[in-house]
Structure formats: C-alpha cells, structure tokens
Chains A and B, each alone.
Chain A
C-alpha cells in the first residue's frame, strides 16, 4: 500500500470532523477580517501609528495615501510635514514648510503647524523667525506646551538665557500632559545644569509613558549625576527589565549601569576595599562583560595598581599628586576620587585587548 493511499484513506475516515471545523473557523475569521477592511480611517490610524512610533519613512508614505483620498485632512497634512522634517534628507525642510503653510492657509489657528514651522526654522538656525512663529501660537493658546518649549529653545539658541528660563519655568509650573515636551524640557534643563527641574520633568514624562526605555535611561543618568547612585542603578535595572526593549536602548542602559557600578568599584578599590571592589565588579561584568575598567580591576584582585612595585612598572616615579580639597558636594565627592590615577603597569599581562568597534581611534601617525 502506498503512503499516499494510506494518508487519503485516513483523512476521509477519521479527520473529517476536524477538517469541517477548521473550514468553518476559516470562514468565521475571514468574514471578520473582510468586515474590518482597510478603510480611510484605518489608513489614517496606520499612518498615525507609524508617526508616533518614530517610523517616519513609513509615516510619510501612509499620510500621503490618506491625503490622496482626503486632501483636506489637516491632521494628516501637518503630520506629513512633521514626518518629512524628522526624516530629514535633501529638500525635506522646504517640503515640510510647504505642508505647514498649506495647513495654515486653511486653518490659521493650527497650533501644531505653527509650532513646527518654528522648530524647522530653528533647526535651520533662524531663531528670530522661530520665536515669532511660536509667539503667534502662544497668543492663540497660551497653554499650548509645544509652542512654549520651542519658544524657550529658540531663546536659548539666541543666547537669551533669561527668556529661555522664563518659558521653561512656566512649562515646569504646568503639569501638562505632553509627555514628549516633558522629556524635551528635561533635556533642556540638563543642558542648563538645572538638575532638580530636570528630575521633575523626567518623572512627569515617565508618569505619562512609563515604559519608555530611553527616557528611563536618561533619568538614570541624571540620578547618577546628582549623586543618587543607588536610585540610578535601580533606574537602569528597570530599563533592562522592561522586556523586549529596543536593542540600542538596552545596550545603552547596560553600559550606563555597568559604568555607574564600575565607578563605585573603583572608589572601593581606591579606599583599599578590594573585596567590595571585586563584588561590585562581578555585578558590572554580569551587566556588561566587556567593561574594561572592571576587567582590569578583576584581574588584579580588586587592587588597582602597585605604584611602588618596580617589577611591575617601568615608570620613573610614582605620581604624588597634591591632596585635593575637601569635597563640598556629593557630586564633587565622586569626582575627586579618580583624580589620583593608578600608575599603569607595563608588563606583558597588561597588553590591551584588540580594539572593538567604537574604541578609541588610532592616531594617523
């Protein structure tokens, strides 16, 4: 008996009910799918989804499709402009400005288009015109956070710190619901060195969008900068626990976490706590197996160097740096620690590893 015949016989006899049910299922779900269809609303939804998830090339295509059937859709036209500007490339800015102008011709009170015009102008280096556009948007709606942010940014770029601060402070005083503007304001505050204000804005951004790995990572970096090391470590660990995050975000969080812990390990090593240093380095190397500082420290059992050991170094004399002054803040405590570098040992054991991509470049000598 051939195999084919065996199979067909069995299907006929024993699998008939299952096949019938499967066919029924296919019909049910196919009917549901057909009912859904790809309507214009769905097209708009797909375009918006691409835009909100940062896939600007797809968004350009999808918004273009929407506008082909509905040229008066202001949302699609304005977001097409923003997608063009964000995607960049030759001719992107004029094309984006054209879209914003088209929207504003139809609806002069379109705050988004006016603000984005300002943002594109600012990127092109015209802060005065950017300020004018955002000022106009704010006259129409003083509570429109994006316009206030771009106005602040334009003033900062123009060197008007007081004016910029006024706008950013008003943004901080208003717990609005624009998560991206909170994040951007936080970055502006970091740039200005206003870390408490930046902390507040990051917390607000993450309250609105708790699972953004890039933002959580940025908050971790800020906490580390404020000397809140354990909170920073927690923040980076949370990024890594966010599940399938984007590879770049996960790698970034991993590097930051390892770097933050490695700093603590070096501090412990500098204070002669070799065991603590080794324990910290074990955590570091679990997070980032290529962390160079901890690999070096671990090879030496948590003891960074032996400056007086002539057998290990060929240097003329150990460094005897002057004693640093007493630290005045938690930050300076962290910073002054590495100011007494270990004298490098120049033996065969200390040959550096082959450089990876992204390691420091070679001199062109």
Chain B
C-alpha cells in the first residue's frame, strides 16, 4: 500500500490510526505474557524443589552431616574421608570434617581441616570464625583428652623463594646488629617544586598558586649537586623529579617505597629578596639553613589541607615531648610554629585498603617508630649542619623564617625536610653558594649513611 504522502505502509494497517487499541492485546504481547508466566512458574518450581533435591539421601555429604547431627562423629569422619579421596578440593567437606574433629576433641586435626577449608575459600567468614574459636585457646584441652595428635608431615624440599629467604635470614642471624644498615641503601632526594599562594591574583574560589623560585629551579639544581657528590661517593640517589614540574605526594611516597631509600630528604628552596645588613654589604645569595624540627601527626593526616597547621603542631609538640627522653638530643631542638600547608604531607597512608585489626595496630606502631627515627635523623643533621656553620641556631633570630626540618610522616621511611633560602643575585655567586651548600649537605648525608637507623 502507498499512503497519500507516498510512503509505503503495511497492508491491513490503518495509517490514520495513531494509537494501538489498548483494549485488545496484540498477539505478540500475549505470547510474551505467556512466556513470562511460564518462566515464573518454572522459577517457583525450582525454588520449591531445591530443598528436596539438596536433601537427597544419595548425597554422601548430606549423609555425613546427618551422622554428625545425630552425634555419630566417627562414622561421619569415615564417610568424609572417603569423600575427600574423590573430592579433595571441596571446602564444604573440609569444613564439616573440621567440625567433626572439634566434636571429637582433635584440636590439631580440626585446625588443619578448617585451615584447608579456608585456603580453598578465603572469604568464608563462618569457617574463619570457627577456626579462630579453636585457635584462640591453648592446646591443653587436646592433651587432656588423651587422643594422639596427628603425626607431623614429612617436610617437603624448600622452594627457590624459601631457600633465598632462609639464606638471607641466616646471614642476618650471623650479624643481627647490622641488619638494615649500611651505606649501600640509596637516599631519596625530593627537590620540592615550591608553590605559594599568588597574592597578585584577585581572590577566587579556588587557591591560586605561583612558583616560589623565580630565579630558576634552585631546589632541583641543589639536589643535582648533592646527588652528584653522593653518587661519586658510592651512595645511590633517587630523585623524585627531573624537571620543573610538581609531583604529587602519592607518587613521591611510591618512589620512596619502591626505591628502598634509607632516608627521604626533601629539599625546599625559598627565595626572599634579602636586605643589606647594617654594614652595608649585600646579602649572601644563599642564607644559612635554618634547621628546626616539626612532626605532623594524626591530626594533620586525618584532614589533609583542611586542618590548621597550628592544631597539627600543638598535637605534635606534646607527642614530641613524649618521644624525646631527657638526654635525647631531640629534646634540644625546639619545635617552631606552623609551616604553611605541610598538613598535606599526611595525605598518604603507609598502607592502602582496609587493613585488618592486627595490621592497623602494627601500622600505628610503625608510624610512631618512623617519627622517632625521623626526628633523631633530623636532630643529627641539624647538629652536623651547625658544626659546619651551615645552620643558624633557631634562637638567634626569634621568629622562624626560611629553613626548617620537617618530618614527613606519610612516607614509610625516616623522612626529613631541609629548607634553605636562596636570594636572587648574580649567577656566579649563586652557583658558588649552592656548590658550597651542596658539599656540606652531602657531607652530612654521607656521615649519616653509615649509621644504623
């Protein structure tokens, strides 16, 4: 058929009728409904028949369960052993065998069976709970029961991984005090690409930042000079960046962890326009490092960027006082006030995911140890830099200016931040000053490298 406007239409259909007649369902719709009804009927039958099928007396596992429920564990155990010969990877059989062994008082056997079940099905909460309930208690009950524990398994030959691990552990046992020490561990140098809020920009909803180093990427330059000296002395170095770009903390933490660096030293460079002193001499292009100590703790870690540095600092001052003993050199380092947005350093945790209870407590213990180690490292670097005339005593100028040592508790290494102020000036003088500074810093780091963390 051809309609008035020339379009082809199906024969028998009235083109003027825009809507289908809802009163009489079409044949295809009726077929669909019948199919749907059949499917629902099938599902209902399946749901009703499932318990009957599952409880088939032919299933030996069901028979074993019935025997167990009737208080005939010995027979159940025999049947389960037969099933396991055919189906050794059926976690349900192992789980039931574990329950049978619990009933018969065979602690070791129950533990073994339940562990096997859990190995086959690691997410089985019920099996894990039953396993823990037995493992929680000392084996005295099993001994008093008078049943023989299963004989120990024949030891299998160690794998290549095990051999390597045992050899390493053997070497460590021979000289335990030097485990984890040595100058071979690389140093992670983190030249910070320092940004500051841009005061020249009009107020905006988001923060506006500008680089703080208009006179070149001095942090990278300084890091390169230090790295070259360390490399020449046989100490490996990892740089967290190779060019003038900003690296996220997560990346830096990943690099620090993957490189296995003994220490993590962040080098921050600020640039102030220096004033001439009273004698009228122009200021030195590189100011002495101002070394202070600051630890950012849980308060900063919980709300990165949002917590006020004052609050973070206040919580850490007390923490530091607790960490530092009366004769600890740490105690001689007076913590300074807040430093900008260092709270961001708490953004990365040592572990990802949802740690278990044991892991969570272990991580907290580790974090406390890291803070102690990092703080002691900061104190030693401070002492050495002061001995070299590189660091100014904090008390001389009162309020903190450029130059701090901060501990970066987010990274799973003892981590220290050194900051130095570099003033704009003639390139040659600036270069010489940087060389001198790098030589002193490298010396400090090299002296540090030989000691055990």
Taking a contact as CB atoms under 8 Å apart, the answer to whether A221 and B402 are in contact is no
State how many angstroms separate the Cβ of B372 from the closest Cβ of chain A: 10
Known: A191-B366, A225-B260. A325 touches B232 (CB 8 A): yes
A363 to chain B: which residues have CB within 8 Å?
194, 196, 212, 268, 270, 339-340, 402, 419
Categorize the interface residue count of chain B. 35 or more
Taking a contact as CB atoms under 8 Å apart, the answer to whether A75 and B129 are in contact is yes
Taking a contact as CB atoms under 8 Å apart, the answer to whether B236 and A331 are in contact is yes
- Is A359 engaged at the interface, CB distance under 8 Å to the other chain? yes
Taking a contact as CB atoms under 8 Å apart, the answer to whether B358 and A184 are in contact is yes
Interface residues of A in 174-202 (CB under 8 A from B): 177, 179-181, 183-184, 187, 191-197, 199-201
Taking a contact as CB atoms under 8 Å apart, the answer to whether A364 and B44 are in contact is no
- Is A334 engaged at the interface, CB distance under 8 Å to the other chain? yes
Binary per-residue interface labels of chain B (232-245) against chain A in the complex, 1 for a CB within 8 Å, 0 otherwise: 10101111011111
- Is B316 engaged at the interface, CB distance under 8 Å to the other chain? no
B343 to chain A: which residues have CB within 8 Å?
361
Taking a contact as CB atoms under 8 Å apart, the answer to whether B184 and A332 are in contact is yes
B217 to chain A: which residues have CB within 8 Å?
344, 346
- Is B132 engaged at the interface, CB distance under 8 Å to the other chain? yes
Binary per-residue interface labels of chain B (165-183) against chain A in the complex, 1 for a CB within 8 Å, 0 otherwise: 1111100110011011000
State how many angstroms separate the Cβ of B128 from the closest Cβ of chain A: 6
State how many angstroms separate the Cβ of A52 from the closest Cβ of chain B: 6
Q: How far is the CA of A195 from the CA of B355 in the complex (A)?
A: 22
Binary per-residue interface labels of chain B (182-225) against chain A in the complex, 1 for a CB within 8 Å, 0 otherwise: 00111000001111110000000011110110001100110111
Residue of B nearest to A166 (CB): B173
Taking a contact as CB atoms under 8 Å apart, the answer to whether A292 and B40 are in contact is no
Name the one of A119, A199, A315, A344 contacting B161, with C-beta atoms under 8 angstroms. A199
- Is B250 engaged at the interface, CB distance under 8 Å to the other chain? yes
- Is B283 engaged at the interface, CB distance under 8 Å to the other chain? no
- Is A25 engaged at the interface, CB distance under 8 Å to the other chain? yes
Q: How far is the CA of A278 from the CA of B200 in the complex (A)?
A: 37
Taking a contact as CB atoms under 8 Å apart, the answer to whether A192 and B47 are in contact is no
Taking a contact as CB atoms under 8 Å apart, the answer to whether A365 and B212 are in contact is yes
Residue of B nearest to A3 (CB): B22
Name the one of B234, B246, B257, B364 contacting A325, with C-beta atoms under 8 angstroms. B234
Taking a contact as CB atoms under 8 Å apart, the answer to whether A316 and B431 are in contact is yes
Residue of A nearest to B430 (CB): A316
Taking a contact as CB atoms under 8 Å apart, the answer to whether B176 and A161 are in contact is yes
Binary per-residue interface labels of chain B (154-167) against chain A in the complex, 1 for a CB within 8 Å, 0 otherwise: 00000001101111
Taking a contact as CB atoms under 8 Å apart, the answer to whether B48 and A28 are in contact is yes
Known: A24-B44, A344-B220. A193 touches B185 (CB 8 A): yes
Known: A17-B37, A316-B428, A321-B227. A180 touches B358 (CB 8 A): yes
Interface residues of B in 323-365 (CB under 8 A from A): 338-345, 347-348, 351-362, 364-365
Taking a contact as CB atoms under 8 Å apart, the answer to whether A358 and B249 are in contact is yes
- Is B89 engaged at the interface, CB distance under 8 Å to the other chain? no
- Is B69 engaged at the interface, CB distance under 8 Å to the other chain? no
Taking a contact as CB atoms under 8 Å apart, the answer to whether B258 and A259 are in contact is yes
Taking a contact as CB atoms under 8 Å apart, the answer to whether B212 and A324 are in contact is no
Taking a contact as CB atoms under 8 Å apart, the answer to whether B169 and A85 are in contact is no
Interface residues of A in 205-225 (CB under 8 A from B): 207-214, 217-218, 221, 224-225
Interface residues of B in 108-140 (CB under 8 A from A): 115, 118-119, 122, 125-126, 128-129, 132-133, 135-140
- Is B393 engaged at the interface, CB distance under 8 Å to the other chain? no
- Is B255 engaged at the interface, CB distance under 8 Å to the other chain? yes
- Is B305 engaged at the interface, CB distance under 8 Å to the other chain? yes
Taking a contact as CB atoms under 8 Å apart, the answer to whether B195 and A352 are in contact is yes
Q: How far is the CA of A321 from the CA of B401 in the complex (A)?
A: 31
Known: A123-B361, A183-B359, A193-B185. A292 touches B126 (CB 8 A): no
Name the one of B257, B344, B345, B431 contacting A317, with C-beta atoms under 8 angstroms. B431
Taking a contact as CB atoms under 8 Å apart, the answer to whether B304 and A355 are in contact is no
Name the one of B140, B164, B268, B361 contacting A86, with C-beta atoms under 8 angstroms. B361
Name the one of A10, A149, A196, A255 contacting B254, with C-beta atoms under 8 angstroms. A255
Q: How far is the CA of A192 from the CA of B248 in the complex (A)?
A: 27
Q: How far is the CA of A351 from the CA of B212 in the complex (A)?
A: 12
Q: How far is the CA of A77 from the CA of B185 in the complex (A)?
A: 45
Taking a contact as CB atoms under 8 Å apart, the answer to whether B245 and A295 are in contact is yes
State how many angstroms separate the Cβ of B170 from the closest Cβ of chain A: 8
Taking a contact as CB atoms under 8 Å apart, the answer to whether A165 and B340 are in contact is no
Binary per-residue interface labels of chain B (259-272) against chain A in the complex, 1 for a CB within 8 Å, 0 otherwise: 11000000010101
Name the one of A157, A210, A339 contacting B369, with C-beta atoms under 8 angstroms. A157
- Is B231 engaged at the interface, CB distance under 8 Å to the other chain? yes
Taking a contact as CB atoms under 8 Å apart, the answer to whether A165 and B342 are in contact is no
A339 to chain B: which residues have CB within 8 Å?
224, 227-228, 230-231, 236-237, 239
Residue of B nearest to A270 (CB): B242
Jot down 10 A-B pairs with beta carbons below 8 A, ordered by A: A10-B22, A168-B169, A213-B353, A252-B250, A339-B230, A344-B220, A344-B244, A360-B192, A362-B194, A364-B338
The 8 tightest CB contacts between A and B, nearest first, are: A321-B228, A335-B236, A109-B138, A214-B353, A54-B354, A324-B231, A316-B427, A364-B340
Beyond A325-B232, A359-B248: 7 further Cβ-contacts under 8 Å?
A: A54-B355, A112-B135, A162-B177, A196-B168, A338-B242, A341-B227, A344-B216
